[in-house]
Amino acid sequence: MATIVEAPPIAPSPPAPRGGIWGWLTSVDHKKIGIMYGISAFIFFVLGGIEALVIRWQLAVPDGTLVNEEVYNQLFTMHGTTMVFLFVMPVSAAFGNYFVPIMIGARDVAFPRLNALSFWIFISGGIFISSSFFLGGFPDGAWVGYSPLSTQSEVIRMDFWAIGLLILGVASLLGAVNFITTIFTMRAPGMTLFRMPVFVWMQLVVAFLLAFSLPLVTVGLFQVILDRNFGTLFYDAATGGDPILWQHLFWLFGHPEVYILILPAMGIVSEVLPTFSRKPLFGYQFVVFAGAAIGFLGFGVWAHHMFTSGLGPVAETAFGLMTMTIAVPTGIKIFNWVGTMWGGNISFTTPMLFSIGFVAMFTIGGLSGVTHSIVPADTQQHDSYYVVAHFHYVLFGGAVFGIFAGVYYWFGKVFGRMLDETIGKWHFWLMFVGFNLTFAPMHLLGLNGMPRRIATYGDGLGWNYWNFMATIGSFIIALSILVFLINAVRSYRRGVEAGADPWDGRTLEWTTSSPPADFNFAEVPVVEAIDDFWYKKYGEDEDHLPVRLDSNPLDPSALAPDADHHVHLPSPSYYPIMLALGIVTLAYGFLWIPAGFLVMAIGLGIMLLAIFGWALEDIDHPMGDRDHEGGGNDGGDGDEEPAGVGSEGSE
């Protein structure tokens, strides 16, 4: 901290903090970035959902004619790519960005500008991939992009896909580095690792999974791009290349990716269930270790996606058994969630319904996952609708239900007004029914021999009835999303005011005002226990039952929102968005080489400018308040760090 270098005089000054669009574009506030992540993710969710509806409409009857094969192949490729990379991952990043710092009692993330860069690269990558629609068509090689199908087609669609994923990978990697550093270095005094909320733990595990798995797929994606554009032969069997290599590289990333998608939702549910059961999470350490174990084991099971590619019985046995072991930590989590509810005083609020729905639906996805580890059985299930059913139970019944639990749980904290509970319950039940009607029949369709990724199917194979029902279900899901959007807009405008602690919460985010002040905490909290906030509100009587204490442990910013708390914050910056713009310009230019060289040069120029500006930027703007510390923090906090200048300087 002592070595903050004065910016050289040539550096332009950073923008003054201000509101409006410009304030959002240059913001380095983790909360604003979180909101932007969330809203853009939901826009992509709607786009991916529309693709899904077209798919289901096409498959409602045999020999569907709504779209042809060419369009259909693009639709399912983009549906998968969008939902995985542009919805679930960024929405988890949204929750992580917004709540990880607050839940550990920090005022921002470790690298605020890097955080902004991560978001702007994500949104550029998302727009880049989606813009292919106007530039020759969506990618059409499935979200797994198996070579040599992905490397042989002459149109640039799969370049959009490969380069887009590379860009998104950079965004995720930056986010991961930021989260890991934030969680390890920015925790409030007393917030030991094993006092952290499970949500934070799961974000930490996810960050490590990203950091270790993304490089693997990056290698593969570069090979795809080189094969496609420069005549390398990594995946060309004619010259000794091997298409199977891609499958190994992709799934070495792809399987951890599954846990990247589901663990944040597990974290959310691990926050919601205790709050509405009015009990601590059952078996906290076991849930944490189970999450870490799932992440660890996730690196050793990739080949279960390849049981039909001819691995041979020895490898099949090894990966089958390894896959089975994942069921153990998963089971531990499920049992602990039920244990959390057991003996509680459960109120069925909307977030609680979504959380219970998560546990129930995820259990089904977990059980069908076990059937995949039974290798011989998997040779029937693989690439059939059974698999489609399985991963939708995990990623929709699991991740999406968990995400909505989080949305209903934290909406009031983020926007200051609560989502409507009555509409929320309509949303839940519609989604629950629609989800099961859509995806439960797909188990059967797959077992009855229906392969996935087919644009049409023949009549007379016994698939008609359940396909039609699944299509009805998908439109019920769409209706439920519409209900949610209405709820969100309506509640944002005139919902019930949330107040600091609407759910009688247990964790630090509920001690701040809703929405939290820019600086999160006027007074850096001092943590003494897991669920610290709860134990500052409640003592114990002689029967060990909680008794409300005569205390008011809210942060001063929540008690006196208008007071001047003199907290210094990192300055906004032009450079993250500028750097992202440079990267995406470079990518667009690459698609049209040689004419694109000029565009690439422009992109490179923007990047260089942004990097120099970034490096030379005056990190301590005179507009900011140099008073680092808020009002008297009387905790014994020798190692406490100011969230503002110091950490920014070490970036």
Partner 1 sequence: MEIGFGRFAGEPREQAGDDAGVLLAVSGRYFTSDFGSYPPTSNVFPTSSMGSHSTVNTAVTQKKQRRLLLGVGFTMLVLVLSACGTGGAQDGLSPASEKARNIDGLFTLTLIIAAVVFVLVQGAIIYTAIKFRRKKGEAPKPVKQIHGNTKLEIAWTIAPALILAGLAVPTVQTIFENAADPVNAVEITVTGHQWWWEYDYSDLGVITANEMHIPVGQDIALTLTADAGDVIHSFWVPRLSGKRDLVPGHENTLTISADEPGLYLGQCAEFCGLSHANMRLRVYAHEPADFEAWVQSQLAAAVIPADTDESLRAEGWELFISKGCSACHGINGTEAVGGGLNPGPNLTHFAQRDTFAGALYDSTTENLSAWLANPSELKSMRPDLNRGMPNLGLSDDEISALVAFLQGLD
Residues in region 146-205 near partner 1 by CB under 8 A:
146, 148-149, 152-154
**Number of residues counted as binding partner 1 (CB under 8 A):** 107
Determine if 74 is a binding residue for partner 1 (CB under 8 A): no
Q: Are 179 and 210 in contact (CB under 8 A)?
A: no
Of 43 and 454, nearer to partner 1 (C-beta) is 454
User: Which region, judged by CB under 8 A, interacts with partner 1, from 103-111, 205-213, 276-284, 610-618?
Assistant: 276-284
Of 342 and 612, nearer to partner 1 (C-beta) is 342
Determine if 451 is a binding residue for partner 1 (CB under 8 A): yes
Q: Contacting partner 1 (CB under 8 A), which of 79, 107, 195, 279?
A: 279
Q: Are 129 and 81 in contact (CB under 8 A)?
A: yes
Of 462 and 561, nearer to partner 1 (C-beta) is 462
Residue 67 neighbours by CB distance under 10 Å: 17
Determine if 284 is a binding residue for partner 1 (CB under 8 A): yes
Q: Which residues of 299-314 are buried (b: 16+ CB within 10 A; e: fewer)?
A: bbbbbbbbbeeebeee
Of 50-69, binders to partner 1 (CB under 8 A) are 63, 68-69
Q: Assign 391 to helix, strand or coil.
A: helix
Rounded Cα distance, 398 and 364, in Å = 10
Determine if 80 is a binding residue for partner 1 (CB under 8 A): no
Q: Contacting partner 1 (CB under 8 A), which of 218, 229, 232, 371?
A: 371
Tell me the one-letter amino acid at 626.
R
- Residue 548's DSSP bridge partners are 538
Of 289-308, binders to partner 1 (CB under 8 A) are 308
Rounded Cα distance, 256 and 296, in Å = 8
Residue 319 is encoded by which pair of tokens?
A: 């990966």
User: Which residues contact residue 543 at a Cβ distance below 8 angstroms, ignoring those fewer than 6 apart?
Assistant: none
Q: Contacting partner 1 (CB under 8 A), which of 157, 382, 417, 427?
A: 382
Of 306-335, binders to partner 1 (CB under 8 A) are 308-310, 312-313, 316-317, 320-321, 324-325, 327-328, 331-332, 334-335
- The torsion region of residue 71 among left (phi > 0), alpha (psi -120 to 50) and beta comes to alpha
Q: Contacting partner 1 (CB under 8 A), which of 3, 65, 345, 422?
A: 345
Of 470-509, binders to partner 1 (CB under 8 A) are 504
Residue given tokens 């114990």 in the structure block: 540
Rounded Cα distance, 78 and 42, in Å = 15
CA distances to 54, 105, 185, 621 from 641, in Å: 52, 11, 9, 19
Determine if 461 is a binding residue for partner 1 (CB under 8 A): yes
Angle 157-185/575-591 helices, nearest 10 degrees?
160
Q: Contacting partner 1 (CB under 8 A), which of 124, 132, 181, 277?
A: 277
Determine if 368 is a binding residue for partner 1 (CB under 8 A): yes
Residue 76 is encoded by which pair of tokens?
A: 């399912």
Q: Identify whether 515 is preceded by a cis peptide bond (ω within 30 of 0).
A: yes
Q: Contacting partner 1 (CB under 8 A), which of 8, 460, 632, 638?
A: 460
- Residue 561's DSSP bridge partners are none
Of 98-157, binders to partner 1 (CB under 8 A) are 141-142, 146, 148-149, 152-154
Q: How far is the CB of 574 from partner 1 (least distance, A)?
A: 43
Q: How far is the CB of 381 from partner 1 (least distance, A)?
A: 8
User: Which region, judged by CB under 8 A, interacts with partner 1, from 192-200, 544-552, 616-624, 630-638?
Assistant: 544-552
Q: Contacting partner 1 (CB under 8 A), which of 249, 261, 375, 395?
A: 375
